[in-house]
Amino acid sequence: MTRLSTAKALGNRVADAYALITTGMRTRRCPENCGLMVRYRAVSDAEAKRLDAMAADHDGRHQSRI
């Protein structure tokens, strides 16, 4: 990871924390940093799990970028 992308990831984390504080929205980002981001608020546990899974596992999106 380059210094720039580390700073960007840190900025994302700050933005996510800000969103959580101001709007109560939780943020899930792709661990591969493909840009996919899921934000949700006041969803059921089952729906939150589904969104988490979607944010963590979406290989089709990564393959289409190659």
Toward Zn ion, which CB reaches closer, 45 or 59? 59
Whether residue 54 contacts residue 39, with contact meaning beta carbons closer than 8 Å, is answered with no
- Summarize the chain as % helix, strand, coil (round to 5): 60, 10, 30
Site string for Zn ion, 1-30 (x = CB under 5 A): -----------------------------x
Whether residue 25 contacts residue 19, with contact meaning beta carbons closer than 8 Å, is answered with yes
Q: Which of 13, 14, 32, 57 binds Zn ion (CB under 5 A)?
A: 32
Q: Which residues bind Zn ion (CB under 5 A)?
A: 30, 32, 34, 36
